[in-house]
Structure 1
Amino acid sequence: MHSVLQRANFIFAYTLSVLAVLTFCCFISTVFLNYTTDVDVKTVKVYVKNVPDYSASRERNDLGYLSFDLRTDLTHLFNWNVKQLFLYLTAEYSTQSNALNQVVLWDKIILRKENAVLDFKNINTKYYFWDDGNGLRNNKNITLTLSWNIIPNAGLLPNVFGTGSHSFKFPAEYTTARM
Structure 2
Amino acid sequence: MYSTSQRISAVFGLFTTVVFTLCAFIAATSWLFTPEPITEVSIRNVNVVKGRTAYQRSDKSQEYALLKFDLDYDLTSLFHWNTKQLFIYLVASYDTPQTTNEVVVWDRIIQQKTQAKRRVRGEKNKYNVNDINGSFK
Range into which the TM-score falls when normalised by the shorter chain: 0.7 to 0.9
- Structure 1 runs (4+) greater than 2 angstroms displaced: 31-38, 50-61, 112-115
Deviation at 1:113, TM superposition (A): 4.1
Deviation at 1:2, TM superposition (A): 2.2
SS for the counterpart of 2:14 is helix
Deviation at 1:57, TM superposition (A): 6.5
Of the two, which has the highest radius of gyration? 2
Q: Which residue of 2 aligns with 1:93?
A: 94
2:109 & 2:40 partners in 1: Cα distance?
A: 18
1:130 & 1:32 partners in 2: Cα distance?
A: 42
Gaps of 5+ in 1: 138-179
Tell me which of the two structures has the higher relative contact order, counting C-alpha pairs closer than 8 angstroms and 6 or more residues apart. Answer: 1
Task: Say if 2:63 is the partner of 1:62.
Answer: yes
TM-score, length basis structure 1? 0.65
Work out the number of aligned pairs and report it: 135
1:8 to 1:112, Cα distance in 2 relative to 1, 3 A: farther
1:25 to 1:79, Cα distance in 2 relative to 1, 3 A: same
Q: Which residue of 1 aligns with 2:72?
A: 71
Query: Which amino acid in structure 2 is aligned with residue 70 of structure 1?
Result: L
Query: Which amino acid in structure 1 is aligned with residue 111 of structure 2?
Result: L
Q: Which residue of 2 aligns with 1:124?
A: 124
Q: What is the CA deviation profile of residues 57-81 of structure 1, one whole-angstrom value per residue up to 9, with x for unaligned ones? A: 7343321111211002111121222
More helix by share: 2
1:74 & 1:82 partners in 2: Cα distance?
A: 12
Deviation at 1:40, TM superposition (A): 1.2
Query: Which amino acid in structure 2 is aligned with residue 52 of structure 1?
Result: R
Query: Which amino acid in structure 2 is aligned with residue 74 of structure 1?
Result: L
Provide the aligned C-alpha RMSD in A.
2.2
Q: How does 1:17-28 map to 2 (within 5 A)?
A: 17-28=17-28
Task: Say if 2:29 is the partner of 1:29.
Answer: yes
Same amino acid, percent of matched pairs? 31
Verify the 8 A CA contact 1:89 1:105 in the aligned structure 2: yes
Q: Which residue of 2 aligns with 1:38?
A: 38
Deviation at 1:95, TM superposition (A): 0.7
Could you tell which deviates more after superposition, 13-22 or 123-132?
A: 13-22
Deviation at 1:31, TM superposition (A): 3.7
TM-score, length basis structure 2? 0.83
